[in-house]
Structure 1
């Protein structure tokens, strides 16, 4: 995974990844609706109050877009592999392929499904951008969906476990972001990501201790 992170080139600067609060992965001033992910519906009053707030970016991982493309590619590859099984069974019944070849195709399809489940589990928890509202009470986590699209999840800052209270170290490849309620866990890479606003980041996660 570290080799893959190093191989991904850094994308253009903040103009590409900085998004208005109402948008998703945006390119400049293009219509943010092009990148709409599967956001869970929220009550109108709550949505209005949250979306009208001004959120400040505190962390960004530029390679998240490449991981989104990789996630979509893996879904497509797995679908093609699984869809090839019915024709393979038919060709076996007609004597065009051997039983060994059919077993091999089934094994490849099973392995592809297993890898898809593992990659999806990880990619859906990999953080692309972190935002904090001006009041410092809401942490917005931008991450990927199963389909490689962007999704925003809002956490109360009071429910976020500071990194100073965990056993994770800043120099590790991935650091966990957890809730006291234990509902969700996300991963950030401080080694390859970038803390944009260290003051706000510290207010949420505490002072990072690389020697812990």
Structure 2
């Protein structure tokens, strides 16, 4: 996974953007409100009142777009291998395919499905962008869905466990964002991601010894 992160070129965009209105992960430098993709982000557990609040971007992981594409590609590849199984059974029943070939096809489909489950479990928890509202009370986490599209999850800052209180170290490839309520755990990479607003980031996660 670390090798894959190093292979993805790091795109240097604007230091900070406003809260996304629609679309995916990047926007035009001329007009931050215009996003490249047209698909709106799925809002999950949206607290009442957050629609009118202004959120400030504090962290960004540029390679999240590549991981989203990889996730969609894996879903398509798994679907193709599974769809090929019924014709394989038919060809075997007609004597057009050997048992070894049918078992190989089933093994490939099973392996593809297992890899999809593992990758989806990780990708759905990988943080792409972090936002904090102006009052510093709400954390907005932009991550991926099972299908590789963007999804926003809101967490009260008071429920977020500071990284200084966990055993994870900023130098590790991935560190966990956990909640006292134990609702959901996300994965954050400070080695390959960028902290855009260090002051707000510190208020949420505590003072960390990370490169500027």
CA displacement, residues 41-96 of structure 1 (integer Å, 9 cap, x when unaligned): 757xx1xx202111111110000000000000000000000000000111111111
**Matches for 1:1-212 after TM superposition, within 5 Å:** 1-14=1-14, 18=17, 20-25=19-24, 26-28=26-28, 29=31, 30=34, 34-40=38-44, 42=46, 46=48, 49-209=49-209
Q: In 2 relative to 1, CA 190–111 (structure 1 residues): closer, same or farther, beyond 3 Å?
A: same
Distance in 1 between residues matched to 2:42 and 2:126, nearest whole Å: 16
Distance in 2 between residues matched to 1:195 and 1:40, nearest whole Å: 24
Greater helix content: 1
CA offset at residue 40 of structure 1? 3.6
CA displacement, residues 132-191 of structure 1 (integer Å, 9 cap, x when unaligned): 001000000000000110011111000000001000000000000000000000001000
CA offset at residue 12 of structure 1? 4.6
Structure 2 unpaired stretches of 5+:
none
Higher alpha-carbon deviation: 33-42 or 193-202? 33-42
Secondary structure, in 3 states, of the residue corresponding to 2:56?
strand
CA offset at residue 22 of structure 1? 2.6
Distance in 1 between residues matched to 2:131 and 2:147, nearest whole Å: 22
Count of residues paired in the alignment: 205
Distance in 1 between residues matched to 2:174 and 2:136, nearest whole Å: 24
Distance in 2 between residues matched to 1:164 and 1:156, nearest whole Å: 18
Misfit runs of 4+, over 6 Å: none
Structure 1 unpaired stretches of 5+:
none
